[in-house]
Chain A
Amino acid sequence: MTAQSCPRQHCATTMDSAALEPSLYTVKAVFILDNDGNKTLQKNLKNYYDPELYPSMKEQKNFELNVFNKTHKADNEIAFLEGMTIVYKSSIDLFFYVVGSAQENELMLMAVLNCLFESVSQMLRKNVEKRTLLDNMDGVFLVVDEIIDGGVILESDPQQVIEKVNYRADDSPLSEQSVAQHITEKLALTSNVLQSAKEQIKWSILK
């Protein structure tokens, strides 16, 4: 009949004041985006998502779009969006993101981000850009798999990660340098074979 009085509603914000439940589940999401405008999100690498955070792909995409819009302009390292702490790092045309809950220790998330970035950087021999990353996508998958397992930090030392993954970055097979390298290797091998053959003959004669 008449407008009911509308009391001001205070949202329950218990989750903010409540201390963090001790748990190994630290990371809510890890993803890498590239920076060519709107279509970016068609070709990102979504390597890990906490299934409870954004269950559907559409929500994930929206979240990424929001994160990208808020972070790609300034390299500020850390942001707070949609109730999530987001640490990020960019390199040429790539953006690396690690997402944790609002109460998560920001430095822990930073440790994960640094490990991810350093590992990828070492694997790609410092060429952290979209083209090389796409050429070595399998390696990137393996790196993320070694750093995060279902939201738990598995490893935080890039050196360890690289050792465990044991992945040899794929140089473009057509580049002259690698062809030359290939030939020298082959040559070295042949000369080795020759060398050992010689030795063997020598020994057999001496006997």
Chain B
Amino acid sequence: MIKKFDKKDEESGSGSNPFQHLEKSAVLQEARIFNETPINPRRCLHILTKIIYLLNQGEHFGTTEATEAFFAMTRLFQSNDQTLRRMCYLTIKEMANISEDVIIVTSSLTKDMTGKEDVYRGPAIRALCRITDTTMLQAIERYMKQAIVDKVPSVSSSALVSSLHMVKMSFDVVKRWVNEAQEAASSDNIMVQYHALGLLYHLRKNDRLAVTKMLNKFTKSGLKSPFAYCMMIRIASKLLEETEGGHDSPLFDFIESCLRNKHEMVVYEAASAIVHMPNCTARELAPAVSVLQLFCSSPKAALRYAAVRTLNKVAMKHPSAVTACNLDLENLITDSNRSIATLAITTLLKTGSESSVDRLMKQISSFVSEISDEFKVVVVQAISALCQKYPRKHSVMMNFLSNMLRDDGGFEYKRAIVDCIISIIEENPESKETGLAHLCEFIEDCEHTVLATKILHLLGKEGPRTPTPSKYIRFIFNRVVLESEAVRAAAVSALAKFGAQNDDLLPSVLVLMKRCMMDSDDEVRDRATFYMNVLQQKQKALNAAYIFNGLSVSVPGLEKSLHQYTLEPSEKPFDMKTVPLATAPITEQKTEIAPVATSKLPEKLAPSRQDIYQEQLAAIPEFKGLGPLFKSSEPVQLTEAETEYVVRCIKHTFANHMIFQFDCTNTLNDQLLQRVLVQMEPSEAYEVLNYVPAPSLPYSQPSSCYSLVRLPEDDPTAVSCTFSCTMKYLVRDCDPNTGEPDDDGYDDEYVLEDLEVTVADHIQKVLKPNFGAAWDEIGDDNEKEETFALATVRTLDEAVNNIISFLGMQPCERSDKVPENKNSHVLFLAGILWDPPAVDNDSHAHLEPILWISALVSSPRLSTATACSVFALCHYFAVSSLFT
């Protein structure tokens, strides 16, 4: 009979795979033989295998059919066939979530887990824990405790791992098994030890002291399992990170001692932990780097990969520490595993000298097509970093990048290349033309709309200022003919910028624009018509306002305001001034990005920091009617880092008021603070109107309180002011463990550092992509010249940075970068000044002061101690708002 069955199966499975054409219904039909007596273990086994296979394939089982099959399966517990029983356990685990009433097997499983057959016990525990819920957990608690300390390793391991899974479900019950887990942790079996440690840490991880104790105990007694060592290293490095102290603690010594462990796994884990520690000194790194260096010549690919990947990370922060490994890395650049080769080369690019760049680039281009996109991105990032380090090499890089751009690749990869080329263009003006040419070529055949629009925008910005702008027109207009709506619209905008800036091109641009007005898409047509009309006026001010420099308000803010406006219809036209301004993007520190799943993080248009504040503040009833938020400052620390209470302040500027937001954190675990507020004593005519206290401030949960201050009305020049601040609160002592506070408390206060309000708080940064146009737009009438001496500043860089931070304005056109060996520099700053109340009072009700500063910073001789002087040319401009 068995043979017959197998034969039939063979035929239906087209001779090669008995599982190929499995039908769920047929298999469930077959499952009826579970009910036959006597049980035929072989056939039943085969059917169970098929069911599990189907479940693994993602076949959907309905609740009824699953329950039916499950109940039939329970009969198989009568058989004593070992494999069959084990497969029953597997089926139980697979079906735990799809079948109903799985708990009926509880008693069978409990019998097996406490029975004599050791082979059944472990798997029975694991199956039982899968079907157990919170209510039933109590019932099996006794068995679990016994199983954890069982002398059979597989039983103990199974119980420990299952307990770990159940921690998510009911932490409190599992926590009671700590003593048993503790006992298991000193087991001789390596896996039991590992699992016990894992469970213990999981149960105690919120209790720092207990974790430290546990760590001390096991580091002293030593461990058998390499897995357990890896776990301990991770725990130790986490503790070290949290203490932020020096690395001379016993924890660091433990990790370092693991570098001499006999298991490679442990050695690597320790090396990797040291490398990832923040603020590691070169001396501490050295032993880790030298074991990694040894691994580089291992015959095992995984070990070489692990070593070179970690070295690559070291090279980002401490290139000099890796130089010793250069020779070993050189041997890896021809490794047959291309991931290893790529990592070796990118590491060498970071540590090597300028002379080796050409050779390495040649090597990498020989196999760049073979590696995965993730590593191509790594290569591009290495190149990007290299260009900053060796600007002179940009021509080699540019060639390489343009070749990579021509290859196939996914969006992330292409975007990395485009970003890299753009940053090279920004850094090296002489590479601008070649870079733009490569990008033009790329958009001729580019499937990614986002990249095409980005490049078109860049062309519009940079193209008109090149010596021969006309050559870009063709590329741009091709897009208008060939691409999707979004790209066409971007192309039209780019064309308009050429027309506005190059008078000799204007007639041709107008002709092209006319054609775009016949486009099938509304947005493209609208843009073309709009630009056409603006361009025909031939007025510089109009061009500057509507073509070069776009909206200065924040887009999410505009969306919200418009929505609000449609909800409350009124006679008045929509006022653009009620919309909060866009904060200029803060140029982030360029970070090296190792391969990570960037594609997994969907990019959203996140509301800016200020939009978030605007929303938070609007939710507080005391702050109604203050108008749009003008500017939010960076947080200012008002306490030392390691004090009882940590307070930082964010200054929010409104038209006539300021709100001070104090983010307070209580670092004392035996205190609960209530009614927390910060009392402020101004030095000038500022008037404190209102305090909004934080109702309660428990241990380590930050909370905010606010103070509302009116700006002085009669004295518009008093922009700066110093506040002395005192935090006042009600203290209630509480039990550090439970957090239960005493019934009565007492008032107390805490003196904070003084808070300064400066000019920068009243000026909002705006980014003007085309500063020249914005400058001309305002005109010479509003010009003011003054010269200041900066007595304390020695270098141009310092002077530029000081001016920027003092005025809080946005440097434009990368003028914040001072070229080397210059003794004068022109800095372009743009910003909008808050409405001075004095102006608000007289007739010009709707004035929006705009401030452009072009500052000529010069120092007589670079290296001498002579102070710099600033010749500032201010365009102070007050016109009726452009938008009303």
Contact = CB atoms under 8 A, between A and B. Distances in A.
Interface of A: 1-13, 15-17, 19-24, 42-43, 45-47, 57, 60, 70, 74, 76-84, 87, 102, 105-111, 130-131, 134-135, 137-139, 141-142, 145, 149-150, 152-156, 160, 164-168, 173-174
Contact of A11 (B241, B490, B601): B601
Given A78-B302, A78-B305, A80-B375, A47 B238 contact: no
A142 B49 CA distance: 10
Interface residues of B, number: 106
Which residue, B83, B276, B547, has most C-beta atoms of chain A within 10 A? Answer: B83
Interface of B (DSSP majority class) = helix
Contacts of B119: 164, 166
B409 interface: no
Contact of B164 (A8, A24, A166): A24
Contact of B3 (A130, A131, A154, A173): A173
A13 B227 contact: no
A155 B157 contact: yes
A164 B158 CA distance: 12
Contacts of A135: 18
Contacts of A138: 45-46, 48-49, 83, 87
9 contacts: A11-B601, A19-B238, A19-B241, A22-B201, A22-B235, A79-B339, A149-B126, A152-B161, A164-B119
A193 B375 CA distance: 69
B655 interface: no
B715 to A, nearest CB: 37
Given A141-B49, A154-B161, 6 more contacts: A4-B555, A24-B161, A45-B53, A105-B272, A108-B227, A142-B90
Contacts of A43: 17, 19-20
A2 B93 CA distance: 59
Nearest to A110: B302
B714 to A, nearest CB: 39
Contact of B374 (A81, A145, A160): A81
B154 interface: yes
Contacts of B306: 105-107
Interface stretch (B507-515, B591-599, B729-737): B591-599
A130 B19 CA distance: 12
A83 B596 contact: yes
B525 interface: no
B328 interface: no
B198 interface: yes
Contact of B191 (A84, A105, A156): A156
Given A24-B195, A83-B595, A105 B230 contact: yes
A47 B423 CA distance: 46
Nearest to A151: B165
B603 to A, nearest CB: 6
B423 to A, nearest CB: 8
B301 A167 contact: no
Contacts of B336: 74, 76
Interface in B590-633: 590-591, 593-601, 603
B556 to A, nearest CB: 12
Contacts of A2: 493, 496, 546-547, 550-551
B273 A19 contact: yes
A22 to B, nearest CB: 4
Nearest to B236: A22
Contact of B83 (A8, A22, A167): A167
Nearest to A140: B49
A6 B454 contact: yes
A154 B164 CA distance: 12
A71 to B, nearest CB: 10
B234 A22 contact: yes
B337 A137 contact: no
Given A2-B551, A43-B20, A153-B227, A19 B237 contact: yes
A7 B585 contact: yes
A23 B49 contact: no
A192 B305 CA distance: 59
A10 B591 contact: yes
Nearest to B162: A149
Interface of B: 2-3, 6, 16-20, 45-46, 48-49, 52-53, 56-58, 82-83, 86-87, 90, 93, 119, 122-123, 126, 154, 157-158, 161-162, 164-165, 191, 194-195, 198-199, 201-202, 205, 227, 230-231, 234-235, 237-238, 241, 264-265, 268-269, 272-273, 276, 300-303, 305-306, 309, 336-339, 372, 374-375, 419, 422-423, 453-454, 456-457, 460, 489-490, 493-494, 496, 530, 546-547, 550-551, 555, 585, 588, 590-591, 593-601, 603, 767, 769
A13 B57 CA distance: 33
B56 A45 contact: yes
Contacts of B372: 70, 79-81
B593 A145 contact: no
B490 A15 contact: no
B550 A3 contact: yes
A108 B596 CA distance: 20
B6 A105 contact: no
A55 B483 CA distance: 36
Contacts of A74: 336-337
A26 to B, nearest CB: 9
Contacts of B90: 141-142, 145
A30 to B, nearest CB: 11
Nearest to B303: A107
Contacts of A79: 339, 372
Contacts of A166: 82-83, 119
B191 A154 contact: yes
Identify the 8 closest CB pairs spanning chains A and B, nearest first. A83-B597, A57-B58, A24-B198, A77-B301, A22-B234, A7-B585, A2-B550, A107-B265
B302 A13 contact: no
Contacts of A17: 276
A72 B673 CA distance: 62
Contacts of B375: 80
B161 A150 contact: yes
A130 B227 CA distance: 32
Contacts of A102: 595-597
A131 to B, nearest CB: 7
Contacts of B49: 137-138, 141
A23 B58 contact: no
Contact of B593 (A16, A22, A23): A16
A166 B117 CA distance: 12
A16 B161 contact: no
B400 to A, nearest CB: 20
B379 to A, nearest CB: 13
Nearest to A14: B596
A69 to B, nearest CB: 10
Nearest to B589: A10
A69 B191 CA distance: 35
Given A11-B603, A24-B195, A43-B19, A84 B597 contact: yes
A78 B87 contact: no
B787 to A, nearest CB: 33
Nearest to A2: B550
Contact of B460 (A3, A13, A156): A3
A16 B303 CA distance: 19
A92 to B, nearest CB: 14
Contacts of A134: 17-19
Given A138-B87, A173-B6, A107 B302 contact: yes
A152 B126 contact: no
Nearest to B490: A3
A46 B54 CA distance: 10
B272 to A, nearest CB: 7
Given A137-B19, A149-B126, A173-B6, A3 B453 contact: yes
Contacts of B93: 145
Contacts of B454: 6
Contacts of B419: 8
A90 B59 CA distance: 27
B231 A22 contact: yes
A13 B234 contact: no
